[in-house]
Structure 1
Amino acid sequence: MPSAGFYIMHSLRSLRRRHWRWLVIAALFFLFFLLLDTPFAPPPSAPHPTLNLVRSSYDWSKWQPHNPVPSESLQPLPTAKPEKLARIQHVPSRHPKFDIAVQGRRRAEIKRAMQKSWNSYREFAWMRDELTPLTGTGKDTFSGWAATLVDALDTLWIMGMKEEFHEAAQAAVTLDWDVTQDTACNIKEPALLAKAVELGDMLYAGFDTPNHMPAPWLDFEKAKTGRLVPDDHQAAASAASLSMEFTRLAQLTGDNKYYDAVARVTDKLFESQNITGLPGMWPTFFDLRNGIFHNHDNTFTLGALSDSMYEYVLKMHLLLAATEPKYEQLYRATADTIVENLVFRPVIPDNLDILFTGTYHAEDPAWLETEGQHLACFVGGMLALGGRVLDIPGHVDIGARLTNGCIWAYNAFPTGLAPEIFKLVPCESLEGCEWDEQKWLEAVTNDEDGRDTLPKGFQNAREPAYLLRPEALESAFILYRITGQEEYREAAWEMFQSIQKVTETEYGYAAIEDVTVTGKPEQRDSMESFWMAETLKYLYLIFSPTDVVSLDDYVLNTEAHPLRIHKQ
């Protein structure tokens, strides 16, 4: 199974976590890596079916850029000797036999959910982008390039579903990148790597603009005729969230053009970081057409439209084993700014020591909007990971408190699930405050999105849906692997049980409309690819031995696909 990187950006309408519209399957080529680059790779002599590559009808490798980067100007991969990174994972103690048995039963239950989801996809939606879990059909939401199939490849491998993996991998290497119902896309196993390079070359065309900043859409005809231009109002994540995938492709192929493309964006981030409206962070939107990253917008968030940009700054430091110092500098400034300006503690009845992140508005005067997003639940894991790698103990603690906040949000609602977007009444400081029921009641009453059924502490649940998202489980997984504290595994198991109870359908698992209701909530006919690629994978891994996809050997990209860390 390949070290994977299927980077599916969400539409702005649904606020899916990833945002680069022209890269509907941008990092998909990392599901086309060598079997020997995987956490569960078989020995070299182990037989496996030969994959029969079918080339795409348009050969993007023969396409010539209209705005070529001179070969002498290409930024190469760092050549410094990889550093020995600090140990990330806790050293596991010997667990009693009953504990091993419990975790085995939990993995088996999660694998059954994966098998049900996959079998229904195979029967009713094969080669379509998504399964519709209520009606048992398929739909195409990402150019019809089998998004769920490709996104789930490494989950199949990690869970030991080898026959299903090989069947899916064979289907994947037949995809034709030039055949789609859309006119544009939202941006060592030889056959898998060859198909990866095909897609990589197509996506590289998205950087063929006058200033080499990526276009918002990879319009195929415009790319072929040299008419692509960046947008003057483009989401930050769309500019800065392909660095891991292109870097890994450069490492595998030895072709520096991929690394150069994303390094140019990194340089812009580096130049602008300390001159924005909130120095240390970047605004939600950039003017890529004019190369302006610092003052196009006054909103700073870790949620939709920005999230993976921040996540990748740290993960590039890991992927390159600290051989490019810019990424550590970028991350340290970002993390400090987040802690100082975006983190808040809510007013809740039992005054639990939990935190959330909000949205900072760099206005006069500046203010923090204490609206949380499920998407931003990844931040706890990010800060804990950065704190461990870069020896910032206080950030490990902040990461734990943020993760505990998201877990608390799940437990607060009758469905056992957290809403998509919600608002909380804040304390004056991170040290906590006494519960003030009158203050809370006034906040709920004065908020047009307030509800009579809200748990105490919540001002509203503006978007009350649950979309099968993975972010809270992602942070619980990272915190468990770092600290070894069993409370994170227990919380993850409770979350899984809640998910099963209200989302399971005849054919799979469905998003739900409202987490605030008692009883069975209304379900949506939607099961996005991240359900199998991320949510079930994180659940399976948190109950697996710590050497399975060890965080000391692999860094997981934004869609939970493990990329091997570049070491000596």
Structure 2
Amino acid sequence: MVGIRSRRSLRRLAVAGTALLYPYATLAGPVQHPGLSLPDSAAANKQAVVDIFTKSYEAYRSAAFGHDDLAPISNTSVDSRNGWGASIVDALSTMHVMGLNDYFTEGVNFASKIDFSNSQTPSTVSVFETTIRYLGGLLSAYELSGEQYPALLTKAQQLADKLAWAWVGTNDVPYGFLDFSSNTPSVSSSNIAEAGTLALEWGTLSQHTGNSTYQNLAAKSLKHIANLGSPLPGLAAQGIDPTSGQPVGSYVTWGGGSDSYFEYLIKYARLFPNEDSIYRDTWLTAVDSSIKTLLRTSTVGNHVYLADYDGSRIRHVSSHLACFHGGNWIFGGKLLNNDTIVQHALDLVDACWNTYAGTVTGIGPEAFAFISSDGNYTGSSGPSRGQQTEYQQNGFYTTTGYYILRPEVLESNFYAWRATGDTKYLDRAASAIDSFNKYLRVGVAFAGIGDVTKTSSGYYDDMESFWFAEVLKYLYLTFDDPAKISLDEYIFNTEAHPFKLPSTPSFNSAAIRANKKSFTPVSDGPLPAVSGLTSLPQFV
């Protein structure tokens, strides 16, 4: 059994484990393959993505404008993100990238008038979801449009001033949910994805406002997690208690609840290269530890997966959410000029794509499992007879079959194309477009499906905002001119909102003017526990 290691032990292992595998310490390498050239077929595929976007957005405008999501089956609205118009704000950067100027102008006008002083729904506010969708969307649109809409920055600052109440007293780690009507957090455990996926957005806000408070709050949470003892070197436990700042449990995964914390370690180091090296070093240690401990090859098909670790045993499971890891490793490996990382990353991209290629719909499942030479333990019962058959055919078996418009497999496919220039990644993206049009198009727009292993399985009546922000943006950019939104000039937050890198001329590299507008967090003391969890969309 591997226990929680001390910080000193973790650092010693980190140095020993990475010394030979990762000889480069600077983030200087180019990410994009030089001389990328698109085939003639790319133009039609790019237009096909625009067509999907405009059909989806027109349906949203018609039946749900101003609300968070469209319910595409019932053709009504859903307010899953506090009723501030999540689909509009989340779509802004995609509209700009696609050149949909009328939509963008309309969206900017709407966003400029959002009242962030209170939730428009009875639910509490998720600090994580609000940061990546609203704050990230506002700031990215502000930058992409040449900073010509200052109201977007004003709204971003107003929103962050409310969200900042999630940090209580001297706590490094914010609580996950807030009651905006009273500025009181829900006192409960969180996870490292929620607590560690804020620094890109809050750091960018500090760059544009000159107020270091925002960056300091988010960065101290990210650094706190990186400094914790961990079940495996560099791989923090999934759960965390904001009150004590200590881990909760010892479960390790690159999937949901942990995913974007690992993503942001290397991205924060790239976006803010003058910050502490702990972010880069922890990411390197996490990758090294994952290669040594979590990497598994399936007994059928020789597909390379990252397993989970439950504190005592390897679990042979993965998920759609975890499939961002290939793109993230490509990004970090290329920055570090480290082909070892990049090659493992490309293997992970191939394995995740296999979960799309192996289903009758050509779309990957929410969660899946596999068998490797050390067994098939998943923490639950073994594969059923049908799952065993599926595994023998595909080298994985489905454990949760729904698809709710997630982006991660196509995100990593995009990184693989931009980093290698191999046109097989274009073919895969084109295949996904065909599958989406065939199996997700329903009623007035597009909807998630109940089971990707069946051609008819019902739909989810909620078209989430990340359909606009992530799925369609990554597909579009796969077929767009690689010089636009280059991975050597922009970095994506976890919601696929591009931020300018410091090497680009328009990046605000001036020193942050500390305390330009001070913020005083809520004082220590007992706080009400408020439930802020939401369920999956209704299945119909």
Q: Kindly state the Cα deviation for residue 525 of structure 1 after the two structures are TM-superposed.
A: 1.2
Distance 2:36 2:98 in 1: 24
Instruction: Indicate conservation of the 8 Å contact 2:36/2:482, yes or no.
Output: no
SS at match of 2:449: coil
Among residues 395, 416, 437, which one is paired with 1:500 in the alignment? 437
CA separation of 1:445/1:316 partners in 2, compared to 1, >3 Å: closer, same or farther? closer
Residue 264 of structure 2 is aligned to residue 312 of structure 1: yes
- Asked if the contact 1:214–1:230 (Cα under 8 Å) also holds between the matched residues in 2, the reply is no
Q: 1:170 to 1:453 in 2, by over 3 A?
A: farther
* 1:198 to 2:158 alignment: yes
Report the identity percentage.
Answer: 30
Q: Secondary structure at the match of 1:215?
A: coil
- Classify the secondary structure of the residue corresponding to 1:152: helix
Task: State the shift of 1:300 in Å.
Answer: 0.2
2:278 to 295, 305, 326: 326
Alignment: residue pair count: 455
2:115 counterpart of 1:161: no
Secondary structure of the residue that 1:524 maps to in structure 2? coil
The question of 1:542 aligning with 2:482 is answered no
What amino acid does structure 1 have at the position aligned with 2:102? Answer: E
* SS of the residue 2:362 aligns to: coil
- 2:205 aligns with 249
Inter-partner Cα distance in structure 2 for 1:482 and 1:242: 26
In structure 2, what is the equivalent of residue 419 of structure 1?
365
Which residue of the partner structure matches residue 407 of structure 1?
353
- Normalising by structure 2, report the TM-score: 0.80
Q: 1:379 to 1:513 in 2, by over 3 A?
A: same
- Quote how far apart the aligned CAs of 1:427 are: 3.3
Q: Per the alignment, in what secondary structure is the counterpart of residue 313 of structure 1?
A: helix
- Tell me if structure 2 keeps the 8 A contact 1:420–1:466: yes
Pick from 385, 409, 431 the counterpart of residue 472 of structure 1: 409
CA distance in 2, matches of 1:264, 1:308: 16
Change in Cα spacing, 1:449 to 1:283, as seen in structure 2 (3 Å) is farther
Q: Distance in 2 between matches of 1:559 and 1:505?
A: 25
Question: Using CA pairs below 8 Å that are at least 6 residues apart, which structure has the higher relative contact order?
Answer: 2
119, 124, 146: which one pairs with 1:184? 124
In 2 relative to 1, CA 484–211 (structure 1 residues): closer, same or farther, beyond 3 Å? same
Q: Name the structure 2 match of 1:151.
A: 90
Alpha-carbon offset, residue 520 of structure 1 = 3.0
CA distance in 2, matches of 1:396, 1:276: 25
Of 189, 192, 215 in structure 2, the residue corresponding to residue 259 of structure 1 is 215
Match of 1:358 among 307, 325, 336: 307
Given that residues 449 and 460 in structure 1 are in contact (C-alpha distance below 8 angstroms), is that contact kept between their aligned partners in structure 2?
no
Query: Matches of 1:86 and 1:323 in 2, distance apart?
Result: 18
Q: 1:493 & 1:322 partners in 2: Cα distance?
A: 39
Stretch of structure 1 that moved more, 458-467 or 419-428 = 458-467
Tell me, yes or no, if structure 1 residue 341 matches structure 2 residue 293.
yes
Contact 1:322–1:328 (CA under 8 A) maintained in structure 2: no
Match of 1:124 in 2: 63
Q: Counterpart of 2:498 in structure 1: which amino acid?
A: P
The answer to whether 1:390 aligns with 2:336 is yes
Instruction: Find the aligned partners of 1:298 and 1:94 in 2 and give their Cα distance.
Output: 46
Query: For 2:70, what is the secondary structure of its paired residue?
Result: strand
Q: Cα distance, 1:213 vs. partner?
A: 2.6
Amino acid of the residue matched to residue 59 of structure 2?
Answer: S
Please report how far the alpha carbon of residue 482 of structure 1 lies from its aligned counterpart in structure 2 after TM superposition. 0.8
Q: Partners in 2 of 1:178 and 1:238 — Cα distance?
A: 22
Instruction: Provide the secondary structure at the position in 2 that maps to 1:466.
Output: coil
Q: Deviation per CA, 1:37-88: give whole Å up to 9, x if none.
A: xxxxxxxxxxxxxxxxxxxxxxxxxxxxxxxxxxxxxxxxxxxxxx882211
Kindly provide the amino acid, as one letter, of the partner of residue 105 in structure 1: A
1:136 to 37, 52, 75: 75
Separation of aligned partners in 1, 2:385 and 2:190: 29
CA apart distance, 1:279: 2.0
Counterparts in 2 of 1:452 and 1:334: CA distance versus 1, 3 Å: closer
Q: Which runs of 5+ in 2 are unaligned?
A: 1-25, 128-146, 504-508, 510-540
SS at match of 2:41: helix
Pair 1:319–1:152, CA change in 2 (3 A): same
Extract unaligned runs of 5+ from structure 1. Answer: 1-82, 429-438
- Output the amino acid matched with 1:121: Y
One-letter amino acid of the structure 2 residue matched with residue 150 of structure 1: V
**Superposition deviation, residue 264 in structure 1:** 1.6
What do you get for the CA RMSD once the two structures are aligned?
A: 2.2
In 1: Cα distance, 2:388 partner to 2:172 partner: 51
1:465 counterpart SS class: coil
